[in-house]
Chains A and B, each alone.
Chain A
Amino acid sequence: MSELRRDLRGGPARLLVVDDNKVNRLLLTRSLELQGHTVASAENGRVALEMLQRESFDLLLLDMEMPEMDGFQVLERLINDRQLRDLPVIVTSSLEGIANVVRCIELGAEDYLSKPVNPVLLKARIGACLEKKHLRDQQKELMRRFATPEVAQDLQDSGFWLGGKLVHASVMFSDIRGFTSLAESQSPEETIELLNTYYELMFDAISGHGGIVTVMMGDGLMSVFGAPMPLPDHAESAVCAAQEMVELIDLFNVDRQAAAKPPIKIGIGIASGEMVAGYTGTNQRATYTCIGDTVNLAARLETHTKVAQCAILIDQTTRSALSERITVEPLGLVPFKGKTAAVDVFSVDPGQKR
């Protein structure tokens, strides 16, 4: 979003003035232009909403009494619109009565200015409003960078709470084989560059199949398919993502070989079933994660790829959810640490895709 590249504090912003009265509209537009902002105007709520769908604005200055669609209706529409919900609105009205002010604030308006609007007050309120929006945009950007879009949306929709719920999902663990010795044989810069490329490729494959990465640790990734948003075919999606990851690494190795660098190998473990998903941590620092036996099993399967010399290993539950397009090879029962009974393990041929 362009807002982030621009420092809004005191800087110019794109404002939309909505007022059916021409004198009011011109006057307000003029005051705002004199404050250095770029201003567009609309003569009623319907026209304003059309403009908001087409262009992006930093702030809306809204009159209440208008024909066709009044200010209250505009506020109601904005509050129910995911894209426009966060657009700050300052109501400018000469409607009398505290009840109207309260109704506007309840419908999400940031502020209420009585007409005729005092220019000094207007400037201060707009400054405060844009500052708040700027902070909100920064927060959203941080969230976008450090959380997945699904988690960010989930947080925005339902707010933040520590605690979990039971979900049916598939968990994937993956890492680079022999990464530690690889890191020791090259410069730190090279290692970071390698990790960045690796992450980019893996994130691409994972999110491309509807998964989200919940944990990144060194060269290791934990991803979930089916939470926080349910995914009907989470097992198959996870396996397809795994196949694509292996394929992308193969392509990456062609580049590396051309640059006389050793190829890298990855191992992936996938398990499916019930797990607890939610935010854990403290109110200051928290993360979205999944916990349970299924998660532990996926981690064990990933570790086992080294022993089995296979790129992708899955459990029985994942296997039974797969369509015929994906053929798997049973490796028999494997005893795992922390598991009372041995577990049926299957290897997925990384070469088969969709």
Chain B
Amino acid sequence: MTAPAIDRATFEALKETTGAEFALELVDTFLQEAPPMLNELRHALAAKDADKFRRTAHSLKSNSNTFGALTLGAMARELELGGIAKVIESGGQPLDALAQEYSRVAAALTELQHE
């Protein structure tokens, strides 16, 4: 994956419209909320809870796009629209990829916080 974890333009626009201080606080909230969401996806997968799986993927998608984490957002969208069955078929691999991409996003966002 060569695309940057965070789309700078989207992130700058967020800072501009909401105020820099608020945007950075919102990053904190996201960094707190996202790991439980990744966990929830795994639980939903184990429990074969299609509804919960789709809803969580949906939330993650929308939050990712807010911060310009476009690749993460696209991956979450694929999970939301593709459904749980596809992920079960591939042995949960898409969730590993998602977690990996999230690490990249978290690192990039943390870096932006300290800029």
- Docked-complex contact B63 and A23, CB < 8 angstroms: yes
- Docked-complex contact B81 and A27, CB < 8 angstroms: no
B residues 10-66 near A (Cβ < 8 Å) are 17-19, 22, 26, 29-30, 33, 55, 58-59, 61-63, 65-66
A residues 19-56 near B (Cβ < 8 Å) are 20-24, 26-27, 30-31, 34
Task: From known contacts A27-B26, A116-B62, infer whether A34 and B33 are also in contact, taking CB-CB under 8 Å.
Answer: no
CA distance A34 to B33 in the complex (A): 24
Closest to A94 in B: B62
- Docked-complex contact B29 and A26, CB < 8 angstroms: yes
- Docked-complex contact B29 and A22, CB < 8 angstroms: yes
Residues of A within 8 A of B62 (CB): 21, 24, 94, 115-116
- Docked-complex contact A30 and B18, CB < 8 angstroms: yes
A residues 93-140 near B (Cβ < 8 Å) are 94-96, 115-116, 119
- Docked-complex contact A21 and B59, CB < 8 angstroms: yes
- Tell me, rounded to whole Å, the shortest Cβ–Cβ distance linking B16 to chain A: 10
Residues of B within 8 A of A20 (CB): 59
- Docked-complex contact A23 and B33, CB < 8 angstroms: yes
Residues of B within 8 A of A34 (CB): 17-19
List 29 A-B pairs, Cβ < 8 Å: A20-B59, A21-B59, A21-B62, A22-B29, A22-B33, A23-B33, A24-B63, A26-B26, A27-B18, A27-B66, A30-B18, A30-B19, A30-B22, A31-B17, A31-B18, A34-B17, A34-B19, A65-B58, A67-B55, A94-B58, A94-B61, A94-B62, A94-B65, A95-B58, A96-B81, A115-B62, A116-B65, A116-B66, A119-B17
- Docked-complex contact A23 and B18, CB < 8 angstroms: no
Residues of B within 8 A of A67 (CB): 55
Closest to A23 in B: B63
CA distance A23 to B33 in the complex (A): 8
Residues of A within 8 A of B58 (CB): 65, 94-95
CA distance A34 to B62 in the complex (A): 21
Taking Cβ atoms with an 8 Å cutoff, the residues of B that contact A are 17-19, 22, 26, 29-30, 33, 55, 58-59, 61-63, 65-66, 81
CA distance A94 to B81 in the complex (A): 12
Taking Cβ atoms with an 8 Å cutoff, the residues of A that contact B are 20-24, 26-27, 30-31, 34, 65, 67, 94-96, 115-116, 119
CA distance A22 to B29 in the complex (A): 8
Residues of B within 8 A of A27 (CB): 18, 26, 66
Other CB < 8 Å A-B pairs besides A23-B26, A24-B62, A30-B22, 15 of them? A21-B63, A22-B33, A23-B30, A24-B59, A24-B63, A24-B66, A26-B29, A27-B66, A31-B18, A34-B17, A34-B19, A96-B81, A115-B62, A115-B65, A116-B66
Task: From known contacts A30-B22, A65-B58, infer whether A23 and B66 are also in contact, taking CB-CB under 8 Å.
Answer: yes
- Tell me, rounded to whole Å, the shortest Cβ–Cβ distance linking A247 to chain B: 65
- Tell me, rounded to whole Å, the shortest Cβ–Cβ distance linking A67 to chain B: 8
Residues of B within 8 A of A22 (CB): 29, 33
Closest to A21 in B: B59
